[in-house]
Chains A and B, each alone.
Chain A
């Protein structure tokens, strides 16, 4: 039985990439928000998560994060708060999944600074990051 990979992103690029380069190892499903991801994982658990960081195209009402608090932090600038939540959405989605008890490895395709990756691991356990869309590196990270 193939391992289960859940791709979480605002578009389809990660899913296309995964189907092309990772489908020999993984059965691939995709979700485009935290709620969709939670629903997917309720129906069937995943062995690994491939997560986009920025959700530029996601509608505001599907974003995770406290928009009101963030707007206050940015001195009432709601647009800036929305942008911030979009820019960091992948980590906030992961927070929601971890809170729901889904603790499989999560891989970001992003060149996080080492300290930030360490922080993400402190917060969310098994988190990996690869700096670019390199199929071999992503496969290795997902298998950890």
Chain B
């Protein structure tokens, strides 16, 4: 929630009774002491009292000047809000520090809130304004606006209420200072609660799925953390217990199976501790941007872990325990499948001829690289594939390397040839590495350690950093026939159905 609302709320608390219609006549002037105390103690009638000071007195002139100064700040703050510009908070705060706010401004605050979809807040301001100016010529229009937001609330104002003269001093039940103090207390408490809510709202993390959607640069970390959780906890301890739990559920488990089940669920690090340890790893690894309590899957899995952890090891075969265990196990198996699907859907970029052509076109369109008269620039794609790299990052990486190659051949004699190709290499692990190579005919040497030097002025140090972030590598290799060398960037190929 925007901070200006807190301030506006405070202003409301300090000026609430100014919402009341002014008496037809103000035969008696307020004293400055009374008006001043009314404002500083947050009395709701403060604005009217300030206006009711003798305009000929020094106090009256001082109050009038302060009201004018404050009004300028309040109006400026509201204008900034209306234009959606920064600085509204500072202006409103400055106004609050000087004098009470004119309740006429509630209407503008109401309309700002309504435009921003803050309907409850808007209804509150409309209501305040209508209370202050029930017979105003715009009251019918304002009632209509409130009606559109909250028909029920607007119904209260279908007829102009009788003007309410501030009668706090006449109340036999409660003295005015008590009402005012209570009003201020409630206002401040509400403002503090809203501030806390606003703070929490801003700082809260998001679910893992949301985080993955919005932050492709975190995908490698997410994939690794999920992989560890699935392997170490869900596979070895939960998944491995599946058959033993099934046997137990069917009522024919052997002593060995029970022992095995106990060893999986109750031996070594307690399950709840292991679970908590993985959650901490997520928080550490993802810089507290994730809030796993907001993730339905993690919440369900956490409850399932807790259900298992609270079972008594000695009485695991009792029917009630078996039912709870089976249910929790089923939940965790489902969670494992959700995690598998999540990591399978992480960022993918298709590496094809179109991508290479885009790199080539963009670099040749640059001023310096475009000046180089190339003998040829060949594109070659052995096989179209996909990488777990964000496309814009991949293009930036390749553009840097291609640009360097073109500028290097431009400094030498003909032939000035560049080739950008894609090849696939099968690893002994069954994985595939996608090799993106930029060959050139420049005789200039380029050492591998130069590529990794972050201080290098050719931009490749940053390229190496980007490559590392995605778990790739960058090396200098011999070029194909007709080329001096090749800079090779490689990443693991993204497989479907992980």
Asked if A56 is at the interface (CB within 8 A of a chain B CB), the reply is yes
**Given the complex of chains A and B, what is the CA–CA distance between A75 and B263 in angstroms?**
41
B72 / chain A contacts, CB cutoff of 8 Å: none
Residue pair A114, B496 in contact (C-beta under 8 Å)? yes
Residue pair B243, A113 in contact (C-beta under 8 Å)? no
Residue pair B244, A20 in contact (C-beta under 8 Å)? yes
Asked if B67 is at the interface (CB within 8 A of a chain A CB), the reply is no
Residue pair A111, B340 in contact (C-beta under 8 Å)? yes
Residue pair A132, B242 in contact (C-beta under 8 Å)? yes
| Listed stretches B34-42, B160-168, B230-238, B360-368; interface member | B230-238
A16 / chain B contacts, CB cutoff of 8 Å: 260, 263
Contact bitstring B462-498, A, C-beta under 8 A = 1, else 0: 0010001000011100000000000000000001111
Asked if B432 is at the interface (CB within 8 A of a chain A CB), the reply is yes
Q: Name the distance in Å between A28's Cβ and chain B's nearest Cβ.
A: 13
Chain B facing A: main interface SS? helix
A interface residue count range (under 10 / 10 to 19 / 20 to 34 / 35 or more)? 35 or more
B263 / chain A contacts, CB cutoff of 8 Å: 16
Q: A92 with B235: in contact, given A20-B260, A111-B340 (CB under 8 Å)? A: no
Q: Select one of B452, B475, B495 contacting A115, CB under 8 A.
A: B495
Residue pair A132, B430 in contact (C-beta under 8 Å)? no
Q: A75 with B430: in contact, given A111-B340, A111-B498 (CB under 8 Å)? A: no
Asked if B431 is at the interface (CB within 8 A of a chain A CB), the reply is yes
Using CB atoms, name the residue of chain A closest to B243: A135
**Given the complex of chains A and B, what is the CA–CA distance between A73 and B231 in angstroms?**
25
Q: Which of B240, B429, B432, B475 has the most CB of A within 10 A?
A: B429
Residue pair B240, A56 in contact (C-beta under 8 Å)? no
Residue pair A132, B239 in contact (C-beta under 8 Å)? yes
Contact bitstring B321-348, A, C-beta under 8 A = 1, else 0: 0000000000001001000100000000
Q: Name the distance in Å between A57's Cβ and chain B's nearest Cβ.
A: 10
Using CB atoms, name the residue of chain B closest to A64: B428
Q: Name the distance in Å between A129's Cβ and chain B's nearest Cβ.
A: 10
Using CB atoms, name the residue of chain B closest to A74: B473
Using CB atoms, name the residue of chain B closest to A83: B224
**Given the complex of chains A and B, what is the CA–CA distance between A94 and B475 in angstroms?**
28
Contact bitstring A1-44, B, C-beta under 8 A = 1, else 0: 00000000001010011011100000000000000000000000
Residue pair B430, A91 in contact (C-beta under 8 Å)? yes
Asked if A123 is at the interface (CB within 8 A of a chain B CB), the reply is yes
A53 / chain B contacts, CB cutoff of 8 Å: 231
B232 / chain A contacts, CB cutoff of 8 Å: 56
Residue pair B498, A122 in contact (C-beta under 8 Å)? no
Residue pair A133, B242 in contact (C-beta under 8 Å)? yes
Residue pair B256, A113 in contact (C-beta under 8 Å)? no
Using CB atoms, name the residue of chain B closest to A124: B430
**Given the complex of chains A and B, what is the CA–CA distance between A116 and B231 in angstroms?**
18
Residue pair A91, B498 in contact (C-beta under 8 Å)? no
Q: A132 with B235: in contact, given A76-B452, A111-B340 (CB under 8 Å)? A: yes
Contacts A/B (CB < 8 Å), 20 sampled: A13-B240, A13-B264, A16-B260, A20-B260, A56-B231, A56-B232, A75-B473, A87-B227, A88-B429, A112-B430, A113-B495, A114-B495, A117-B430, A119-B430, A119-B431, A122-B426, A123-B426, A132-B235, A132-B239, A133-B241
6 shortest A-B CB distances, which residue pairs?
A113-B495, A120-B430, A133-B240, A119-B430, A88-B429, A91-B429
Instruction: Tell me the B residues contacting A by CB distance below 8 Å.
Output: 227, 231-232, 235-236, 239-244, 256-257, 260, 263-264, 333, 336, 340, 426, 428-432, 452, 464, 468, 473-475, 495-498
